């Protein structure tokens, strides 16, 4: 795929700078379509589509959680594993401020503010993952090991099957 076939986002720049192999997967974005829409359009299992969730602890410290598209995050379990009382998703405005990306296009790569990253442990068992490339309608297919190597992502076990 040539550079003209997909946008050069901050996430794409980050991956290129780190010399990380990836395949860009543009798809038609549908408002509120979520990971299911991306999975159907790209013809991959929704479990392989990883969502980037921006969350905060009770003291308003932001962090990213990477989760399978067909799962939810147990905030109680996550708080327990992080050693805090409570965690909750950020509001849209805060998530966009922290990352520099629009909700629906948030990538863990190339964020405006460097945030701690946590990844559902079972994501690391997948051969390949599709994760947002920094723009609505752009997924990046990569090896999940990249999450730990380039983002220092820490594995957590907080998935709830939806």
Query: Could you tell me if 27 and 35 are in contact, meaning their C-beta atoms sit under 8 angstroms apart?
Result: no
Residue 130: its pLDDT value, please? 98
pLDDT single digits (tens) 78-111: 999 999 999 999 999 999 999 999 999 999 999 9
Stretch 27-46: mean pLDDT: 93
Domain CATH for 18:
3.90.960.10
pLDDT single digits (tens) 116-161: 999 999 999 999 999 999 999 999 999 999 999 999 999 999 999 8
Distance, CA of 110 to CA of 11 (rounded, Å): 5
Domain hosting 99: range is 3-161
The number of distinct structural domains making up the chain is 1
Residue 70: its pLDDT value, please? 97
pLDDT category at 40 given cuts 50, 70, 90 is very high
Residue 4: its pLDDT value, please? 59
| H-helix or E-strand spanning residue 112 | none
Report the candidate in 92, 115, 116 with the shortest Cα–Cα distance to residue 104: 92
């Amino acid at each position: 795929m040539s550079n003209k076939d997909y946008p050069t986002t901050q996430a794409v720049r980050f991956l290129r700078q780190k010399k990380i192999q990836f395949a860009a997967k543009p798809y038609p974005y549908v408002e509120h379509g979520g990971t299911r829409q991306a999975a159907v359009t790209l013809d991959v299992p929704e479990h392989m589509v990883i969502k980037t969730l921006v969350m905060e602890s009770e003291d308003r410290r932001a962090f990213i959680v990477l989760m399978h598209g067909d799962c939810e995050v147990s905030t109680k379990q996550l708080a327990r594993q992080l050693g805090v009382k409570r965690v909750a998703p950020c509001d849209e405005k805060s998530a966009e401020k922290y990352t520099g990306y629009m909700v629906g296009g948030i990538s863990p790569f190339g964020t405006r503010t460097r945030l701690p990253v946590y990844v559902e442990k079972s994501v690391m068992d997948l051969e390949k993952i599709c994760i947002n490339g920094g723009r609505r309608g752009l997924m990046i297919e990569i090896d999940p090991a990249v999450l730990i190597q380039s983002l220092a992502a820490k594995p957590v076990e907080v998935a709830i099957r939806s």
